[in-house]
Amino acid sequence: MSEVVAPISLMPFTSLTKFFKTPKGLLVIALALLIPLAATASGFTVVAPGVAAAAITAMLIDAPILRYRDKAWSFPSGALLTGLLVAMVLSPFGSWKIAAMTAAMGVLSKYVVRGRSSNVFNPAALALVVSYFAFDTGQSWWGALPELPLMALAALFATGVFITDRVNKMPAVLAFLGMHFLLFTLTAFVGDPAGVAELYREPDLHAALFFAFFMVTDPPTSPPKARDQIVFGVITAVVSYSVFQLVGAVYFLLAGLLVANVWEAWRRYRVRAARTATAR
């Protein structure tokens, strides 16, 4: 008597394939490619503890929250991205415990500070700024490949452009980068060029590109329409420039993004209020 073999379900594989075609899935792939490349400079044994601690902690916190909210288990992809971004910005020579706590703050911020439909702040950006004040953390942006040869910058640029195009955030990126370098170039002409020269060298140049491609483009906290994206990018650049000039703090890019996040939350509130008034 022949044995009947049950067909193997392809649903998990199919779901995984679909996930990696989404913006979040593509970003996971992009960061997964950049991390080992960037780690060749500092060393895998140096960066691995922080990356693992941040990513695992973020997912362990977010998974049960998603289960409670959605009544079903789901992969905490957003938390994974928050953990990876946090780890790639923090200095790899810091404690893995700080990386884990910073990632945890980022995940929890999505549920504490949110509007009607989404979180207000970019989780990684908010967590990194809070961590700076709470733990005096360093930010090396090692994940932006600043210690590698020029070809690494090309890899960062190509990966970033691909992700930006897929999430339809090119206007925001171009507006931010254009205003960012315009302001610092004008400052170099009218003031002391030495004061802003570092913005055109590693790690600051790499940090600006990484920040623009992978953080300014965050779909839940940035506008969908091109016109609003341009305003969003300009606000980010102007505030970042102001913080750099007035304070000189390491978190100047992140501060600009957080202010732009507030503007976007206000814009969405006004759009909803106008729609409600029209419906009435």
Please give, one letter per residue, the 3-state secondary structure of 76-105. CHHHHHHHHHHHHHECCCCCHHHHHHHHHH
Distance of alpha carbon 131 from alpha carbon 137, whole angstroms: 6
What lies within 8 Å, CB to CB, of 177 at 6+ separation is 208, 209, 212, 233, 237
**Can you give the pTM of this predicted structure?**
0.91
DSSP secondary structure of 183-217: HHHHHHHHS-GGGTGGGGSTTHHHHHHHHHHHTTT
Ramachandran sector of residue 95 (left: φ over 0; alpha: ψ -120 to 50; beta: rest): beta
Please check whether residue 8 lies inside any domain of the structure.
no
Please check whether residue 260 lies inside any domain of the structure.
yes
The HSE-up count of residue 18 (CA atoms within 13 Å, CB side) is: 7
Domain count, the chain: 1
Report pLDDT for 149.
82
What lies within 8 Å, CB to CB, of 262 at 6+ separation is 120, 121
Report pLDDT for 13.
52
Please check whether residue 1 lies inside any domain of the structure.
no
Report pLDDT for 279.
78
Distance of alpha carbon 165 from alpha carbon 172, whole angstroms: 11
Please check whether residue 176 lies inside any domain of the structure.
yes
Whole domain around residue 147: which residue ranges? 13-279
Please check whether residue 265 lies inside any domain of the structure.
yes
Nearest alpha-carbon partner for 232 in 170, 156, 144, 141: 170
Please check whether residue 133 lies inside any domain of the structure.
yes
Please check whether residue 2 lies inside any domain of the structure.
no
Helix (H, G, I), strand (E, B) or coil at 137: coil
- Dump pLDDT digits (tens) for 46-104: 999 999 999 999 999 999 999 999 999 999 999 999 999 999 999 999 999 999 999 99
Ramachandran sector of residue 191 (left: φ over 0; alpha: ψ -120 to 50; beta: rest): beta
Report pLDDT for 137.
94
The rounded average pLDDT for each run of 10 residues, N- to C-terminus, in the chain (280 residues) is 47 63 88 93 94 98 96 94 98 96 97 89 98 95 90 89 95 98 94 85 93 96 97 98 94 98 96 83
Please check whether residue 93 lies inside any domain of the structure.
yes
Ramachandran sector of residue 139 (left: φ over 0; alpha: ψ -120 to 50; beta: rest): beta
